[in-house]
Copies of this chain bind each other. A is one copy, B any other.
Amino acid sequence: MAHLRKTGDAVFSKVEKVNSELFSLTYGAIVTQLLKDYEEVDATNEQLEKMGYNIGIRLVDEFLAKAQISSCQNFSETAEVIAKVGFKMFLGVTAEVTNSNASEFSLQLTDNPLAEFVELPEQYSQLSYSNMLCGVLRGALEMVQMRVECTLTKDALWGDDVTELRVVLKELMDEEYKDDDE
């Protein structure tokens, strides 16, 4: 998968970028606002995911245009492309793919640019702080005809060694149907 790493590096070098700390503090401001609005963790987790979904359906165009990935042969290849090109292109870091099979995979992040400098206070220990990422993946994959469920299964903020997203393929959507619908 060395060629995917190279593609990821090349694409990231070309895109416009902003400071990662500004991004993480801005993201933190959203999480804080949602906790204030929804007053509980589950609803905040859900809202972060929805927010990510709306971002994901918009980001996928830039991804397809700039990364110039030809379509993936199988779901395991999709996993590698997301890990080495997608994450690099948007967050500047790569993920490791683990437990991958024909319909599931996990993505592990050692560095998570969303959660730098963050600690969860005790009352928010169940918060899926980076749940926006799950939404982004769901939104982006839906735009390329893959309906997935994505959940945050490990989080450095929960004391885990890594932050891990589990992606499960639910349905390969029928492209022709979608075209008819338009």
Residues on A facing B (Cβ under 8 Å): 12, 15-23, 25-27, 29-30, 33-34, 37, 51, 54-55, 58-59, 62, 89-92, 113, 117, 132
A13 to B126 CA separation, bound complex (whole angstroms): 36
Residues of B within 8 A of A37 (CB): 33, 37
23 A-B residue pairs with Cβ-Cβ distance under 8 Å, sorted by A, are: A15-B20, A15-B21, A16-B21, A17-B18, A18-B18, A18-B20, A18-B23, A18-B113, A21-B90, A22-B55, A23-B26, A25-B55, A25-B58, A26-B26, A26-B27, A26-B30, A29-B30, A29-B54, A30-B30, A30-B33, A33-B33, A33-B34, A33-B37
- How far does the Cβ of A15 sit from chain B's closest Cβ, in whole Å? 5
Known interface pairs A23-B23, A26-B132; 6 further A-B residue pairs with C-beta atoms within 8 A, sorted by A's residue number: A17-B19, A22-B23, A25-B55, A26-B27, A29-B30, A58-B117
